[in-house]
Amino acid sequence: MIVTLTPNPSTDRTVVLAGELERGAVLRLTGSSSQAGGKGVNISRACVSAQVPTVAVFPAPAEDAFVTELLAAGIDARPVPGPSPRVNITVTEPDGTTTKLNSPGSASTPALLEALAARLEEVADPAGWVVLAGSLPPGTPAEWYVGLVARLHAAGLRVAVDTSDAPLVALVEGLGATTAPDLMKPNGDELAQFTGGDAEELEADPEAAAKAARTLLDGGVHAVLATLGGNGAVLVTGDGAWHASPPPTTVVSTVGAGDSSLFGYLLGDLRGLDPAHRLALAVAYGSAAAGLPGTTIPRPDQVHPDLVAVRELSPTQEGENV
């Protein structure tokens, strides 16, 4: 089972432009869509498609249309009473370039944060994963994920975290024996946020990305899945480091590709795959998502890990397909 927490969920509205985004111009659309989303919700959608048991936890009124949509999609949604989700807008250009306009969301309260943590403990399965995903709503202490990881570990649960900005920095600064997640999934920008490196250089150089990811292992993290956009992803564990190159992909929208990659890795773990094959499945899911419009989550039949090339970085070996 994969239990997801989306503390700052969103209704994701995507508009597709007929041409390039031009500031101040009147632009024509070729399409638009709206979907209940957020990082954790996207992972739960992937679970349903792959027939993996999942529970999605998030704050929202029980009668909100956001909840109704998820239930209709077959997701076991467990909303904690709170404000309605925010609205995020994604603008997609014909070449796949995406511009995101994210609203901050409604303020949290200590009571709401405690209710979310308690719900996770109530529904999680020690044999599976708990995924803490996305930004924190206004009013939430930046270090909230740090305490939540420790609390979930005390309950015997495995925890994966995918976040950025102040919550990510706080998590890295608070790494320790009980507060280090079992898995973290930064991208190039997020690696740069806590290492002080250059995001573009980290994305372009798998060896540099692996070196940056190893700093998290030094703090107690068991595994780091660093997604590198069109350059695939790097996986670093205590047993070594690997880089996976994606198959040729016509990019339609990168929104949700990182969430799909994280799901692919977790799916590989639940299936008992070795690290290289977990990484291949992660990159295959991310690449498939990038080739789909909006925040569409790929179906298993659209995912092709056999087309992903994986090579070991430490020690370096000649690349090979896995």
CATH number of residue 115's parent domain: 3.40.1190.20
Spatial separation of the C-alpha atoms in residues 235 and 283, rounded to whole Å? 10
Q: Which residues pair with 310 in a beta bridge?
A: 244, 320
Spatial separation of the C-alpha atoms in residues 134 and 161, rounded to whole Å? 8
Q: Which residues pair with 35 in a beta bridge?
A: 12
| Local confidence pLDDT in tens for the 322 residues of the chain | 999 999 999 999 999 999 999 999 999 999 999 999 999 999 999 999 999 999 999 999 999 999 999 999 999 999 999 999 999 999 999 988 889 999 999 999 999 999 999 999 999 999 899 999 999 999 999 999 999 999 999 999 999 999 999 999 999 999 999 999 999 999 999 999 999 999 999 999 999 999 999 999 999 999 999 999 999 999 999 999 999 999 999 998 888 999 999 999 999 999 999 999 999 999 999 999 999 987 889 999 999 999 999 999 964 444 444 5
Do strands 10-17 and 86-92 pair parallel, antiparallel, or not at all (unpaired)?
parallel
Helix, strand or coil for residue 269? Answer: helix
Looking at residue 253, its pLDDT comes to 83
Could you confirm whether 259 is annotated as catalytic?
Answer: yes
Spatial separation of the C-alpha atoms in residues 87 and 103, rounded to whole Å? 6
Contact between 300 and 271 under an 8 Å Cβ cutoff? The reply is no
Set 64, 162, 205, 259: catalytic member: 259
Domains of the chain: total:
1
pTM recorded for the entire structure: 0.93
Burial of 124 (0-12, 13-18, 19+ CB in 10 A): buried
- The values of phi and psi at residue 2, to 5°, are -120, 115
Q: Which domain holds residue 91?
A: 2-321
- Widest Cα–Cα separation across the chain: 55
